[in-house]
Amino acid sequence: MKLLRYGPVGEEKPGLLDNDGRVRDLSAHVNDISGNTLLPDAIAKLQALNISDLPLVDGQPQQDLRLGACVGNVGKFVCIGLNYADHAAESGLDVPPEPVVFGKWTSAIVGPDDNVEIPRGSEKTDWEVELGVVIGKGGKYIDEADALQHVAGFCVINDVSERDFQLNRSGTWDKGKGSDTFGPLGPWLVTPDEVGDFDQLAMWLEVDGHRYQNGSTATMVYKVPHLVSYCSRFMSLQPGDVISTGTPPGVGMGQKPPVYLKGGEIMRLGIDKLGVQTQNVKNA
């Protein structure tokens, strides 16, 4: 099942994508795709619905029908750094002995095709296609063997990053990770039964048609069950929290010479089975 949120900014409604690629409205069944809507029992009730009975929404998603972030009211936006062996190598860094964990402000979250803004004073805004994990059942000190029971689904994330702010501005990585529009989520949240083997998903990112990232979740160092378990040691995970699991090689900082975003460009990125995002890059 592919769950989504559609409509104008701040007025998104819950929906799902049917087998014909059209949006069906879920407003009669849930208030939003968020929080307790993502608990296992709630997901099971949605999966039991007869999709053809749900109201058809006018417009084609990602064309003349805007999609919002696939999860609403995200409580925590947790990110993992240097989690692909080949990306660590292009960065000239060793694979960390434990997952690198940092936070992205939830105010960075936007829809999958909304504009991405280069912050004022930025000269090193970069891209990162990432596999997002959406928490369903919350918990803390989660056993790795039980971790997937806590996952409601997966999505595409662009972990947009300002490298100078991140690395050179006397602080943690958070400075360069949380600017407004730096967290496009979606287009949809795909439930695990439909994703299948999430350790073998092709992922890519292009800027103005040039493919910079062309990787796979197969090179992820710390896998999804470990990350869910690991993060739950340091915080309670709650329904609707999002974990962004790291990026494969091909980021702008890793090019020789480095390449960074400029206003007027178009980013396009996707992950097998999870959909595609398209963002126009604007100067703030």
Per the structure, the complete domain to which residue 80 belongs is given by: 69-283
DSSP three-state, residue 279: strand
The predicted pLDDT at position 85 comes to 85
Q: Encoding tokens for residue 14? A: 């819950």
The contacts of residue 28 (CB under 8 Å, 6+ apart) are 55
Kindly state whether residue 222 falls inside one of the protein's structural domains.
yes
Kindly state whether residue 39 falls inside one of the protein's structural domains.
no
Question: How many structural domains is the chain composed of?
Answer: 1
Kindly state whether residue 134 falls inside one of the protein's structural domains.
yes
Are the CB atoms for 118 and 265 separated by under 8 Å? Answer: no
Are the CB atoms for 120 and 284 separated by under 8 Å? Answer: yes
Q: What's the CATH number where 212 sits?
A: 3.90.850.10
Tens-place pLDDT, residues 173-195: 889 999 999 999 999 999 999 99
The predicted pLDDT at position 38 comes to 98
Residue 129: beta bridge partners?
158
* Residue whose structure tokens are 């994508």: 17
Kindly state whether residue 173 falls inside one of the protein's structural domains.
yes
The predicted pLDDT at position 189 comes to 98
Kindly state whether residue 273 falls inside one of the protein's structural domains.
yes
Residues of the chain with pLDDT under 50: none
Kindly state whether residue 42 falls inside one of the protein's structural domains.
no
Kindly state whether residue 1 falls inside one of the protein's structural domains.
no
- Ramachandran class of 188: left when φ > 0, alpha when ψ lies in -120 to 50, beta otherwise: beta
- φ, ψ (nearest 5 deg) of residue 143: -70, 140
Kindly state whether residue 152 falls inside one of the protein's structural domains.
yes
What beta strand segments (E) does the chain contain? 2-6, 13-17, 23-25, 77-81, 100-103, 109-110, 116-118, 125-126, 129-135, 151-158, 161-162, 183-184, 189-190, 202-207, 210-216, 242-244, 266-271, 275-283
The predicted pLDDT at position 91 comes to 77
- Alpha-carbon gap, residue 155 to 108, rounded angstroms: 16
